A and B are shown apart, each in its own frame.
Chain A
Amino acid sequence: MKTSVAYAVVAGLVLLAGWAEAQETNQPPDLVRRECSTCHGLRGISVSPMFPNLAGQQTVYLETQLKAFRDRSRADPHAQAFMWGMAAQLTDSTISAIAAYFAAQPAAPGKPAGRDETAGGKKIYEEGISTQQVPPCGSCHGEKAAGNAVFPRLAGQHRAYLERQLAAFISNARANEIMHENSKNLTALQISQLAAFLSAQ
């Protein structure tokens, strides 16, 4: 009798610990709760397309960007206006915690766009445009646009945000040699199609 009670208690405690730990990793860090969530949403899905979805984003990418905001190497206009201040005092460990939290959140669902646009964007994403020296985006960003380490997830991102980032890469407002080379020959229509396709994934 005593032994089975003991086993039951231990089993119960293990279950409780497991449940508590599950709750733990899903708890937003305090800073996320107080600050990040006001623009990016508590679970990393933002309301306004001015602020990107962070849910399900690659951990390494998030860490890299937060450090780039902190040291001001990422200097596109919204980075300056919003994120320089936000990231200025972040420690490396806080950055890791924030990145881990958002990366663990379920990614934003895609928003359907027009069929022609999406088809055009899909073609560019999967095949590139050889005549314009545009490589297939999927070769770095993944078959399903879920990203890989330093290459960000693009699937389900706000369309307007993707368009703005591509424009920033082209103009060098956002300094990134690889992305500048890859996107500098894209036309406005192609950017629009790509963004429509990716935001629908």
Chain B
Amino acid sequence: MRTKGLVVALLVPIVSVLIAVAAAPPFAPRPASATPGYARQTGISCQACHTVFPELTPFGRKFKLNAYVFTNVKEIQATDEQSQRTLSLSDLPPLSVQLQASNTTLGRGIPDAGVAGDLSQQNSTQFPQALSLFYTGKISDNLGSFLQLTWNPSTNAVGIDNSDLRFAGHAGFDSIGVPDFIYGLTLNNNPTSQDVWNSTPAWGYPYIFSNVGVPPVTKTLLDGQLAQEAVGFGGYLFLFDHLYVELSGYRSAQTSFTNTTTGGPGPLDSTSPLPRISNVAPYWRVAWEQDWGNHALEVGTYGLSAQVHPTGIGESGPRNSFTDIALDGQYQYITDNHIFSAAATWIHEIRKFNNVTLADHTNDWLDTARLTGTYYFRRKIGGSAQFFSTTGSRDFTLYCSPSTFATAPSPACPGAATGTPSLLLGSANGRPTTQGATFEIDFLPWLNTKIGLQYTAYSKFNGRSHNYDGFGRNASENNLLYVYLWTAF
């Protein structure tokens, strides 16, 4: 029947793309926001801006909000006839390198993709897991950057990583009672990478994690789905030393696309392997920070709303909408001997599928919550614990068969329009529920080097604890024991 054939033909690329987007962070190790480039530029040691990298102190937050421009190196300067400064170039480029190396032990090897019935290696060693070059620092007065290139082992290619270009200034009108405030503009390639608290996804815990684990079937849009695949531009204010407000807009700018006609990175069309944001997706952020004594407390909200054209659908076709509304909070207690911090976030996503049958029903929801606690003694030894949970509405079409389709529905996936769940990656009961905890112990022989032992335990994965994919895979078999070395210089 022609209609059914058309539906299937649309579904194959759309669902596989959705799952690919959900499953594959572009550069699996989330990069650091700490760089020795900033230390070189400012002459200030790491602990002024970081509790333990990459988490920021109140001073580090101010440095970022001020566009990374505070400098103590000699500069090449120029002024014009009106005594306006026209150039302020660092004599010493604020460059730095970051190296990550690791070993991951899976709970159980994953099915071998080539030999049926056999398993992959249980251990996976990466040296490097990532090697990054940073240019981070002042470009000119009021203009600064966080620019990162990372070499990715599985593609053997160097690509753009989290990047942020900022313009910022101060204003204050004491005579009319308006206290000093910071204003700024940011241009970045990942929603929440411009944020200065470590409770939002881009710079939230875990800061480094395995690049060989089994990815859960889905994530919210704010949870890294647009990393390096969108560009955002926006403005912010930091008022009264307490209140942060930001409004930004994101458009798709995909590093994974080549237009077959122009041969260039655009314009994007229906052949893009990732969903495309239609027009501009607004992003908002409001946060209040209250500091007292050695304590810093933040509470806030953030969100993103995107109308999206799936792969295979042209600009005039129907769009799906993803609206994320999130809350977050962070607490820090910072002294020389003891550092304790806690961070929490909850993201609620409303998904609407309009006139495109790539889900069981028009409306779906997805919630992600994370709660993290961290402690360090003298910035030398410490660790973290995080509890995470993703839950959502049941949807067999979205979650059951992420990448392969059989013609007949399987008894393990009743009600699915499209067939058997995907081995390892799908959800047999159609629920995206993934829950568990990550525990970590760290040792820092020097301020710029961290050695960590991290364990992630899943109580549920893709909907269940046992046989979640219909092929016998248990959630605990995706557990990870992850040992890493992370250094920047």
Which A residues are closer than 8 A to B by beta carbons?
23, 26-28, 30, 33-35, 37-39, 42, 47-50, 77, 80-82, 84-86, 88-89
In the bound complex, do residue A85 and residue B44 qualify as a contact, i.e. CB atoms below 8 Å apart?
A: yes
In angstroms, Cα B162 to Cα A191, docked, is: 48
Near A by CB (< 8 A), chain B positions 443-472 give: none
In the bound complex, do residue B180 and residue A33 qualify as a contact, i.e. CB atoms below 8 Å apart?
A: yes
In angstroms, Cα B335 to Cα A68, docked, is: 24
In angstroms, Cα B335 to Cα A1, docked, is: 69
In the bound complex, do residue A81 and residue B294 qualify as a contact, i.e. CB atoms below 8 Å apart?
A: no
In angstroms, Cα B168 to Cα A34, docked, is: 11
Q: Within the complex, what minimum Cβ distance (angstroms) separates B288 from chain A?
A: 15
CB neighbours of A82 from chain B (8 A): 44-45, 48
In the bound complex, do residue A89 and residue B72 qualify as a contact, i.e. CB atoms below 8 Å apart?
A: yes
Residues A34 and B66 in contact in the complex (CB < 8 Å), given A81-B44, A88-B43 = yes
Near A by CB (< 8 A), chain B positions 9-64 give: 42-45, 47-48, 58-59, 62-63
15 residue pairs A–B, Cβ–Cβ below 8 Å? A23-B174, A23-B175, A28-B180, A33-B172, A33-B180, A38-B62, A39-B59, A47-B293, A48-B58, A48-B291, A48-B334, A50-B336, A77-B336, A82-B48, A85-B44
Number of B interface residues, CB 8 Å?
A: 30
Nearest CB in chain A to that of B447: its residue: A81
Q: Within the complex, what minimum Cβ distance (angstroms) separates B91 from chain A?
A: 11
In the bound complex, do residue A50 and residue B335 qualify as a contact, i.e. CB atoms below 8 Å apart?
A: yes
Which B residues are closer than 8 A to A by beta carbons?
42-45, 47-48, 58-59, 62-63, 66, 70-74, 170, 172, 174-175, 179-180, 241, 291-294, 334-336
In the bound complex, do residue A86 and residue B180 qualify as a contact, i.e. CB atoms below 8 Å apart?
A: no
In the bound complex, do residue A38 and residue B179 qualify as a contact, i.e. CB atoms below 8 Å apart?
A: no
In the bound complex, do residue B180 and residue A85 qualify as a contact, i.e. CB atoms below 8 Å apart?
A: no
Q: Within the complex, what minimum Cβ distance (angstroms) separates B292 from chain A?
A: 6
A-B interface contact total, Cβ < 8 Å = 62
CB neighbours of B74 from chain A (8 A): 89
In the bound complex, do residue A81 and residue B172 qualify as a contact, i.e. CB atoms below 8 Å apart?
A: no
In angstroms, Cα B255 to Cα A20, docked, is: 55
Task: Tell me the interface secondary structure of chain A in the complex.
Answer: helix
Q: Within the complex, what minimum Cβ distance (angstroms) separates A193 from chain B?
A: 20
Q: Within the complex, what minimum Cβ distance (angstroms) separates A65 from chain B?
A: 17
CB neighbours of B336 from chain A (8 A): 50, 77
Residues A38 and B59 in contact in the complex (CB < 8 Å), given A23-B174, A26-B174, A49-B294 = yes
In angstroms, Cα B175 to Cα A27, docked, is: 9
Q: Which of B58, B72, B170 contacts A86 (CB 8 A)?
A: B72
In the bound complex, do residue A88 and residue B72 qualify as a contact, i.e. CB atoms below 8 Å apart?
A: yes
Nearest CB in chain B to that of A19: its residue: B175
Q: Within the complex, what minimum Cβ distance (angstroms) separates B61 from chain A?
A: 9
In the bound complex, do residue B72 and residue A85 qualify as a contact, i.e. CB atoms below 8 Å apart?
A: yes
In angstroms, Cα B69 to Cα A34, docked, is: 10
List 9 extra interface pairs beyond A38-B63, A47-B292, A86-B72, CB under 8 A: A34-B66, A34-B70, A38-B58, A49-B294, A50-B334, A82-B45, A82-B48, A84-B43, A85-B44
In the bound complex, do residue B174 and residue A85 qualify as a contact, i.e. CB atoms below 8 Å apart?
A: no
In the bound complex, do residue A80 and residue B180 qualify as a contact, i.e. CB atoms below 8 Å apart?
A: no
In angstroms, Cα B288 to Cα A62, docked, is: 33
Residues A49 and B72 in contact in the complex (CB < 8 Å), given A38-B62, A81-B47, A86-B44 = no
In the bound complex, do residue B45 and residue A85 qualify as a contact, i.e. CB atoms below 8 Å apart?
A: yes
In angstroms, Cα B45 to Cα A155, docked, is: 30
Q: Within the complex, what minimum Cβ distance (angstroms) separates A110 from chain B?
A: 16
Q: Within the complex, what minimum Cβ distance (angstroms) separates A30 from chain B?
A: 8
In the bound complex, do residue B170 and residue A33 qualify as a contact, i.e. CB atoms below 8 Å apart?
A: yes
In angstroms, Cα B170 to Cα A34, docked, is: 7
Report which residue of A27, A34, A35, A77 has the largest number of chain B beta carbons within 10 angstroms of its beta carbon: A34
CB neighbours of B170 from chain A (8 A): 30, 33-34
- What are the 9 closest A-B residue pairs judged by CB atoms, nearest first? A85-B43, A85-B44, A38-B62, A81-B45, A88-B72, A47-B291, A89-B72, A88-B43, A85-B42
In angstroms, Cα B335 to Cα A160, docked, is: 11
CB neighbours of A86 from chain B (8 A): 43-44, 72
CB neighbours of B172 from chain A (8 A): 33
In the bound complex, do residue B45 and residue A37 qualify as a contact, i.e. CB atoms below 8 Å apart?
A: no
CB neighbours of B174 from chain A (8 A): 23, 26-27
